[in-house]
């Protein structure tokens, strides 16, 4: 379970500019908020994630297709595009088994190829 939670946090950092902003501002506080939200991280994992280089996360995020990014309406992160692409819901990822691993809506398939309901 813990490795999955680490992957959720890293994925969130790659696709959510508000999460990257929180990592820059106060990494330990952000990690504690994630843990309080239900992500099961060991002390070692929490420390390692809090020690991630925010600039490296930003550089990696710029390589991700913008259609997979979650933009923030607040001031853009350094080096990020200035116009937000979409409103950002709460950036804390949800624990596995919650309302989606990253807090997004679950999509139902309509049964018609390429069509979501």
Note the pLDDT tens digit of each residue in 5-59.
999 999 999 999 999 999 999 999 999 999 999 999 999 999 999 999 999 999 9
**pTM more than 0.75:** no
Q: Are 97 and 1 in contact (CB under 8 A)?
A: no
Q: How far is CA 89 from the centre of its chain?
A: 11
3-state secondary structure of 70: strand
């Amino acid at each position: 379970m813990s490795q999955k939670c680490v992957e959720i946090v890293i994925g969130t950092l790659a696709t959510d500019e508000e999460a990257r902003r929180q990592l820059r501002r106060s990494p330990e506080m952000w990690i504690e908020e994630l843990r309080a939200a239900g992500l099961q991280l060991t002390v070692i994992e929490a420390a390692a994630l809090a020690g991630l280089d925010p600039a490296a996360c930003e550089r990696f995020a710029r390589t991700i297709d913008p259609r997979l990014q979650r933009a923030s309406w607040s001031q853009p992160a350094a080096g990020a595009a200035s116009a937000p692409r979409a409103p950002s819901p709460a950036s804390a990822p949800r624990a596995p088994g919650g309302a989606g691993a990253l807090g997004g809506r679950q999509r139902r398939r309509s049964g018609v190829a390429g069509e979501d309901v």
